[in-house]
Amino acid sequence: MASMQDIADKAGVSRVTVSRVLSNHPSVKAETRKKVLYWVKKLDYEPNLIAQSLAGNSTNLIGLLVPEIAYPFFSEIIEAIENQAFYEGYSVIICNTRRSLEKEKNILKELKQRKVEGVIAVPVSSEHSAAAYQRFQLPAVMITKRMEGFSCVYISHYVGGQQIAKHFLNIGFQRIGYIGPTKDSTSAIKYAGFQNYLAANRVQLIDVIECPAPENMNASMVYQRVKAYAAGPGLRCEAYLANDDITACEAIAAFRDLGYSIPKDIAIAGFDNSLLAREISPKLTALAQPLEEIGRKAVEALLEQMSGNAPPRMYELESRIIARESTINFNSST
Amino acid sequence: MASMQDIADKAGVSRVTVSRVLSNHPSVKAETRKKVLYWVKKLDYEPNLIAQSLAGNSTNLIGLLVPEIAYPFFSEIIEAIENQAFYEGYSVIICNTRRSLEKEKNILKELKQRKVEGVIAVPVSSEHSAAAYQRFQLPAVMITKRMEGFSCVYISHYVGGQQIAKHFLNIGFQRIGYIGPTKDSTSAIKYAGFQNYLAANRVQLIDVIECPAPENMNASMVYQRVKAYAAGPGLRCEAYLANDDITACEAIAAFRDLGYSIPKDIAIAGFDNSLLAREISPKLTALAQPLEEIGRKAVEALLEQMSGNAPPRMYELESRIIARESTINFNSST
DNA sequence: CTGAAAGCGCTAACAC
DNA sequence: GTGTTAGCGCTTTCAG
């Protein structure tokens, strides 16, 4: 590994001059520059980024914290972030918090020691994570959720819930239900938006099948809850909103096993519009979060915060309905 | 940011002593150690990993190169790798080659400058990527494909193809087809295994629907090809093997739109056993690659290569059939 | 236009 | 036990 000193020796100049040439400093005689570059090439010199960083330069590193990697919703955002970061000249260290506040804290500590210039994160908890990020004292951008005091990139889950409700009513559904958590932070908000919009149109939610979010690929809980609910009150709706795409898939599996056909007997909509929504049959109607845009914007917001100390800012992006086969209304009289 | 010098000053010792305390060097008087630790805590000292690295320590960083992040097959492996790496004390820089040899080369160059200690990679091309990794001259472990001259962690796609073939025959299918690329490196191998096993049992492949692998989430090509094929020779089989889970999903969509029901009219099996296989309805029978194990093993193999210069080694892991609803045989006379 | 000197924060070899 | 001296590879004043 040739170092700057090696180049300097060969070229008969000082290390400083080599540094100047490599950083395109104007004040170097063309001839000297050429000589230096000759040896740079010849010795196949490669800068040592670690040394550069230590000497005062930036690390060009950012950290990314997610609660899970292999859930399409997250992995699509991760892909978008990596992509934009690369474009901007940054590398990203990916970290899985696994929804543990403890791990999240440790990760932040380590990232800080590694001198990342900032982090983009899906915080483990809207309430309890704040302190750790506050202590972190480096630029941070939160994604997919709102968290006061930080720059955030997200969609309004309330509006998202409303959009689905509106879509259901437009199609002509009257007996409407919901499947998912009703109390988790963001889920509660989308549930509220959904419910309130319906109520404002004098439609009551009939079935509310409470079940946990399918975290860590452990989704089967949803399937069981739907079946249990069917055995209890029974499935009384023609259309359901599922908390997310995986929940929708699990619900569909349960409906099928109960003998219902989608969307003929029961219509269902998902939330997120991840890969799953696009690939299952029938294709899933879903509220689309702009995943690619969330990733891109997050990087941009982070860079902005890194250069200059811009105050935290909220980026509430637009969500939209993607109507597909899973909510075609076969019962509509029109 | 308190530095070692600050601690040393406060504690009235030299920087070296502080270093010794922090690295648990035995030769430090208990009293001194205590004093130092007191100030470490008081000043909230945090080591500068960049400085440590430069001074000769390791970076504890590894690079991960994948052709795509948001495809469940890859994201599940990524998750497993991050997990194991974290467990071993390493951070991972995630890089998306986007299937470009050029980008792959640039990424390797940068990772080298960042002084990562090794990389785990899904090489862009089995043939053309080798040179770049060779030049890289750092420990590297290839995953999901075999690549001579490097440590590799993968399953035998040939055996995988055979396993599916065997499964089909066991179920009693006679008219069998294949959907996917027949010439791409790994696909060609699995296709060969599939075909040869059938041939050895005197069963000829009837429909071979050639179509590209659904790269970069651009899967609809498969859908179109299946439809086009149906309009041409027609679908003449009772069971198909799809090159991967996404291809299977697209084929299912096409079958449905053509009026076939799965698995009643047509059975289908996927390959990989990613999230998709588990979540779609009907649940997809698939050849399971041990995704979690591939990730874990890759990290272990890399660490082994990093400590000591163990020669490259091949880790051929076991694949297995996961039988689910998509290949239930309704026509079987038994 | 170029070089000498100092330092980024830490570790390691060798003394005392 | 602890400090002194060097040095990791680079950047950044400040002179000349």
Interchain contact, B113 vs A252, CB within 8 Å:
no
The confidence score (pLDDT) of residue A219 equals 81
Tokens of B158: 């040939």
Mean pLDDT of chain A: 95
Q: How far is A199 from chain B (nearest CA, A)?
A: 32
**Residues present in chain A in total:** 334
Domains and CATH numbers, chain A: 4-54 (1.10.260.40), 61-155+290-318 (3.40.50.2300), 157-289 (3.40.50.2300)
Residue of B179, B184, B183, B190 whose CA lies nearest to B219: B179
Which chain B residues are Cβ-neighbours of A110 within 8 angstroms? 49, 91
Closest nucleotide to the alpha carbon of B23, via C1': C11
Asked if A310 and A287 touch (Cβ cutoff 8 Å), the reply is: no
Do B71 and B246 touch, CB atoms closer than 8 A?
yes
- pLDDT on residue B333: 56
Which residues touch B324 (CB under 8 Å, ≥6 apart)? B277, B282, B283, B284, B285, B286
pLDDT at A254 over 60: yes
Question: C-alpha dihedral over A163, A249, A70, A84, to 10 degrees?
Answer: -30
How far is residue A22 CA from its own chain's centroid? 37
Q: Which of A246, A241, A264 is nearest to A321 (CA)?
A: A241
What is the tens place of the pLDDT at every residue in A155-191? 999 999 999 999 999 999 999 999 999 999 899 999 9
Q: What is the pTM of this model?
A: 0.96
Tens of pLDDT along A73-96?
999 999 999 999 999 999 999 999
Chain A residues closer than 8 Å to B280 by CB: 249, 279-281
Q: Which residues of A touch B95 (CB under 8 A)?
A: 82, 86, 91
- Grouping H, G, I as helix, E, B as strand and the rest as coil, residue A86 is helix
Q: What is the amino acid identity at position A304?
A: E
pLDDT of residue A333: 56
Give bridge partners of residue B61 from the DSSP assignment.
B91
Mean pLDDT, residues A51-59 taken together: 92
Nearest CA in chain A to B109: A46
Q: What is the pLDDT of residue B114?
A: 98
pLDDT value of residue A332: 66
- CB distance under 7 Å to strand D: residues: A 1, 3-5, 15-16, 19-20, 22-23, 45, 47-48, 51-52, 54-57; B 12-17, 20, 27-29, 31-33, 54-56
Q: Which of B75, B92, B279, B68 is nearest to A73 (CA)?
A: B75
DSSP secondary structure letter of residue B295: H
Instruction: Give the mean pLDDT of A265-270.
Output: 98
Binning pLDDT at 50, 70 and 90, where does residue A304 land? very high
Q: How far apart are CA B333 and CA A149, in angstroms?
A: 67
* pLDDT tens digits along A10-36: 999 999 999 999 999 988 999 999 999
Return the pLDDT at B332: 66
Residues of B in contact with A219 (CB under 8 A): 278-279
Partners of A285 in beta bridges: A269
Q: What is the pLDDT of residue A1?
A: 82
Under an 8 A CB cutoff, do A78 and B95 touch?
no
> Is the model's pLDDT at A209 over the cut of 80?
yes
Contacts with B89 (C-beta within 8 Å, 6 or more apart), sequence order: B60
Residue A119, both tokens: 């982090």
Residue nearest to nucleotide D8 (CA to C1'): B55
Q: Which nucleotides in chain C lie less than 7 Å from some protein C-beta?
A: 1-5, 7-13
- Tens digits of per-residue pLDDT, A219-228? 889 999 999 9
Cα dist. A89→A84, B83, B240 in Å? Answer: 9, 26, 45
Extract the residue ranges of chain B whose pLDDT is less than 50: none
For range A324-328, the mean pLDDT: 96
Output DSSP code: residue A284: P
Query: What CA–CA distance (Å, rounded) separates B13 from B153?
Result: 50
Cβ B125 vs Cβ B100: under 8 Å: no
> Given this model, what pLDDT does residue B216 score?
72
| Distance, CA of A260 to CA of A281 (rounded, Å) | 14
